[in-house]
Amino acid sequence: MASKEDIRSSRRLHRRTLSPERLARAGESLAQHGTAWAAKVSPGPFATFAVYLGVAFEPPTIPLITSLHEAGHRVLLPVCEPGRLLSWVYWRPETAFVRSSYAPIDEPEGERMESSVIAGTAGIFMPATAVDRDGNRIGQGGGYYDRLLQGLDASGGRPPTIAVVFDDDLLPSGSIPAEAFDRPVRQVLTPSGVVQLHDGAEQG
């Protein structure tokens, strides 16, 4: 089995081969399927969803963020804090972005809230460089989301959680080594649609 870092590096190299046209199509499809998923987990408008800003060759999420907003939902975006923790800012169409001091991402400007706000959301769209069909996820390597999910799981308050990847970032079972601190996901959002990773009820 390849190491997480090897898989992460391989997927990043592959993503760099994607054309702007393919990235744009992926963003449109992720918005369509992601907004439909949001409607299933929280019927009706005026729910709040935690999303993230896909940058460079990550799956584009601005179309999803905009689509959720147009559907009447509120959107929270993450900000990296010291100690590999996250705070959150409500996104609006006029929200400005700045480069993070702690990670290679763009972050929203605005009033920051602690991660306890996420327990009250209807769902979490989370980044990944790869996910296998056992639900094991590889993020960017910072551990921010594993810490977030660990806290939510400990309180019993984790909302439905879906990892966002390209279609070929969904790997066969057993592809990703699982570690004690990892928090698996049960659903994956790809440009082709939502993939359910097991047959039970949503557990994250």
Q: Are 53 and 97 in contact (CB under 8 A)?
A: yes
- Confidence label for 200 from pLDDT (cuts 50, 70 and 90): very low
pLDDT, position 109: 95
> Residue 191 pLDDT > 50, yes or no?
yes
Mean pLDDT of the chain: 91
Query: Rounded to an integer, what distance in angstroms lies between the CA atom of residue 39 and that of residue 54?
Result: 22
- What is the mean predicted confidence (pLDDT) over 113-125? 95
Q: Which DSSP string corresponds to the chain?
A: ---HHHHHHHHHHHHTT--HHHHHHHHHHHHHHHHHHHHHHS-SS--EEE-----TTSPP-HHHHHHHHHTT-EEEEEEEETTTEEEEEEE-TT--EEE-SSSSSEEE-S--B-GGGGGGSSEEEEE-SEEETT--EE-SSS-HHHHHHHHHHHHT-PPPEEEE--GGGEEPTT-S---TT----SEEEETTEEEE-SSS----
pLDDT tens-place string over residues 15-66: 999 999 999 999 999 999 999 999 999 987 899 999 999 988 999 999 999 9
- What is the mean predicted confidence (pLDDT) over 156-176? 94
pLDDT tens-place string over residues 59-96: 999 999 999 999 999 999 999 999 889 999 999 999 99
- Confidence label for 139 from pLDDT (cuts 50, 70 and 90): confident
> Residue 140 pLDDT > 90, yes or no?
no
Of 191 and 139, which is predicted with more confidence? 191
pLDDT, position 157: 82
pLDDT, position 45: 81
- What is the mean predicted confidence (pLDDT) over 112-130? 95
Q: Which of 61, 103, 82, 101 is nearest to 190 (CA)?
A: 61
Structure pTM?
0.92
